[in-house]
Structure formats: C-alpha cells, structure tokens
Amino acid sequence: MDRKQLAERFLAVRKFSEELCQPLETEDFVVQTIDDVSPPKWHLGHTSWFFEQVILEQFEADFRKYHRDYYYIFNSYYHSFGERFQRNLRGTLSRPTVRQVLDYRDTITARTARLIEQASEQDWPRVLSLLELGINHEQQHQELFLTDIKHILASNPLRPAYIRREHQRAEIPDQMGWVEIPSGQIEIGYGGNGFAYDNESPRHTSYINDFKLATRPVTNAEYMEFMKDDGYEDHRWWFADGWDIVQSEGWQAPLYWELVEGTWMVMTLHGFRPVDPAEPVCHVSHHEAHAYARWADKRLPTETEWEIASLKQAIDDNRGAFAEDRIFHPVAAPLSGGDGFHLMFGNLWEWTASAYQPYPGYRQAKDALGEYNGKFMNNQIVLRGGSCATGRSHIRPTYRNFFQSDKRWQFTGIRLADDPR
C-alpha cells in the first residue's frame, strides 16, 4: 500500500471501532463479567495504546506520552513494555472515563495519520509494516469487543439487545454432504506478499491421508439430537478434562442457551429468542465439539485438512456473515448442500483437532512483538475461518486463531471430518 491507501485503511478501521460503540450506553463500557472479557472502554484504550507505544514512540519526531499512566493501564500482556494493570480487574476502573478514553483515541488517531504523511522514506518500510500490524490488531479487538459485549449483555437479567433486528427463521438445510479430498504431499502456510501474522509462516510441506470434510457446519437441530441422547451425561464422548468441566460447571447446552418452559431459548446480540434449528450451533467449546464428533462417529479436521479444503472456496463464495454485514450472528447454510463447501469463511470459527504449535522453521522474534503470538503456542487449539464478528478484510485461508479447549464466549462452531470406511 502507498501512503494514501494506508491512511484510508487506517482511518476506516478506526472509524468502524467507533461505530461499534454507538448502540452502547455509558454504563456498558465499564463492565467485566469474566476474566476473558474486557470492558469495551478498555478495548478502545488498548488499541490506541498499541499505536502510541509500538509506532509513535519509535517514529514520531516530537513524541510525548499522552498520559504517563495509560501505558500501565492499557498494556495487555507485553512484558517487554513493562508493568501492566491486572487483567481480571479491568472492570474496576471507573477512570479514565469513557469521554477521556475517546479523547485519547482521537488524539492518537490524528497523530498516527500525520505520521503516515510525514514519516521519512528511510523509516517508511518499518512504519508500514507496524501500521499494518496495528490495523489488523485493531480488527482483532473489534471482534473481541463484540463477543465481550455479548457476554456482558447476556449476563444482565434484563437481557438487553445490542441492536434490534427481527429474526427470520430459516429452513433447515438438506442432509449434510461430504467432499472427498485425496491424500498427497501439499504445502500450507502463508506464502504471499501481503500482511499475515508470523504464526502463519513459514510455508511448508505436509502430508495428508484421504479424508472427507462436511459441506457445512453442524446445525442446532443436529446438536439437539446429541443433547436429547444424553450427550452431556455420557462420559464416553468426552476428553477426561472436558468431562471434569461438564461436571463442575454443570454444562447442559451451548453457552447462552436456556430452557424456558420446555423451549430452548438463546441470547443473541439482537436479544433473547428461541433457538433456530437451521442455524449452525454456536458458542461451543472444543470439548463439546470433540464430544459431538465422537457421538456422531466422526472427528474434527486437522488444521492442515481444513486449510487445504478451504482453498477450494474463495472467501466471498458461499460465505457466512462478516462484521461489516452487521448481522453479528451466524446465518444458516443454503438448503441444498451442492458439491462444494458452505460457510467456511465468516459466520463461525471452526474448531480443529490441532494443537496450536509453531510451524517447522518458525522463529519467534526476540523483540516485544515476539510476544504477539509465539508465547501462546502451548495448551491451545487452532480454529479456522473467521466468524460473524470478523472483518472480511481480516481473514484468509492461512489465518490461525487459537483458544483453550474450554472457551465458549467466541463465535465457535463445528465442522465434521471423516476417514475412508
């Protein structure tokens, strides 16, 4: 990108974050319901902190800190940048106020836009690289903003909607179809010239056996069959630690589902309504995805299998919802399965069977940015494809998201794989 293109993209992403705030009341900005959730106000401050400390401090000619304590308050997990405010206490901070955080945001946006214009030709390649990272970092936090506000509103007994949108019940799609993919030596990982995170590289050779991948995700109706068959009461389908969580947490259904007078209801960003059987099942953990797959006598795909299969589908073909569509909920698959894949991009992050590990030849950077992805390559599972809260320009077939096996507050779902029989 040249400077003009970068400035336009930077300002558009910053503006979209602010548009996401418009449905909120001031009181919504400070709430933190669980450790995984950050208050919306914190997301706004943290994304501005990233541009200030990572970029402006290095390249702005007359740099001065906006506020001496904001580095401490809005640092997330970067030990290289110093001390951080305790993550699980972010919701205790009534100050800075929402207005003060928005003023901070406006100032950092203006200073960063000015840097794009004024950075020297010598500095420009590094400025460009860091700004692309900062823009994509903000898009990640837009997604977290939406999933966090959903948890915040769902935890409120008034069940307030983020936005009101009339639900049109979908027709249940045809029986799940399958696409067979032959064995072979293949290459995966990012190999292009545009932006990608370091954990998507290097591109490398892998081998897959013959396998089949479902043409669409598992629906609510299909998942209900697992529930009716006492799926949450039968230890046979679960990993040992997953079964322990089912017992200790009392899981009986996906997150945000509630049985009301014999009807399963679900909290969405549009409010509380009956579960739609045609929609893909959402807000399930890796433990639940694995248990359902075992119950169905199938399995989850590896991330290598998922990536190879996804290359057969352009991101805009048979896609689900993205953040820009402002639906903020997964849509149902088409009625007919057809010959190809549906909803592989957007809609739902799909759990894989793969542990989040470095690719062969990966080298974690030794500076602060080495903390961005590399230090989390332990005890986490890879997800692929993006969700209805993901930016369309943010996702690609090689993108590797990752969470611990018990996490459910993201828009996560299930696509089954199988082996030749």
Q: Which tens digits make up the pLDDT trace of 202-260?
A: 999 999 999 999 999 999 999 999 999 999 999 999 999 999 999 999 999 999 999 99
For the chain, count helices (H), then strands (E): 10, 12
DSSP state of 276: -
Domain ranges of the chain: 3-154, 178-418
Look-up: residue for tokens 């542990």? 355
> What is residue 216's predicted lDDT score, i.e. its pLDDT?
94
Share of the chain above pLDDT 90, in %: 87
Q: What is the pLDDT of residue 337?
A: 55
- Between residues 337 and 69, the one the model is more confident about: 69
Does residue 336 carry a pLDDT above 80?
Answer: no
Is the pLDDT at 338 greater than 70? The verdict is no
Tens-digit pLDDT profile for residues 378-400: 999 999 999 999 999 999 999 99
Q: Give the residue with greater pLDDT, 364 vs 40.
A: 40
pLDDT of amino acid 313:
66
Residue 73 near residue 45, CB atoms below 8 Å: yes
- Give the pLDDT of residue 74: 97
| Least confident interval from 25-34, 74-83, 321-330, 392-401 | 74-83
Q: Is the pLDDT of residue 200 over 70?
A: yes
Minimum mean pLDDT range among 116-125, 174-183, 275-284, 368-377:
368-377
Query: Can you identify the CATH homologous superfamily of domain 178-418?
Result: paralog of FGE (formylglycine-generating enzyme) (3.90.1580.10)
HSE on the CB side for 246, CA within 13 Å? Answer: 25
Where residue 319 falls among pLDDT bands split at 50, 70, 90?
confident
Strand order in the sheet with 349-355: 401-403, 381-384, 349-355, 412-413
Instruction: Work out the average pLDDT over 267-283.
Output: 97
Please name every residue paired with 185 in a beta bridge, in sequence order, or none if there are none. 207
pTM of the model: 0.96
Q: Convert the pLDDT of each residue in 93-149 to its tens digit.
A: 999 999 999 999 999 999 999 999 999 999 999 999 999 999 999 999 999 999 999
Average pLDDT over residues 355-371: 90
Q: DSSP letter for 219, please.
A: B
Strand 412-413 to strand 349-355: parallel, antiparallel, or no bridges (unpaired)?
Answer: parallel
Q: Is the pLDDT of residue 317 over 80?
A: no
What confidence tier does 180 reach under pLDDT thresholds 50, 70, 90? Answer: very high
DSSP designation for 235: G
Q: Output the average pLDDT for the chain.
A: 95
How deeply is 158 buried, as exposed, middle or buried, from its count of CB atoms within 10 A (0-12, 13-18, 19+)? exposed
Average pLDDT over residues 183-203: 94
Evaluate if residue 318 carries a pLDDT over 80: no
The whole-number pLDDT of residue 220 equals: 98
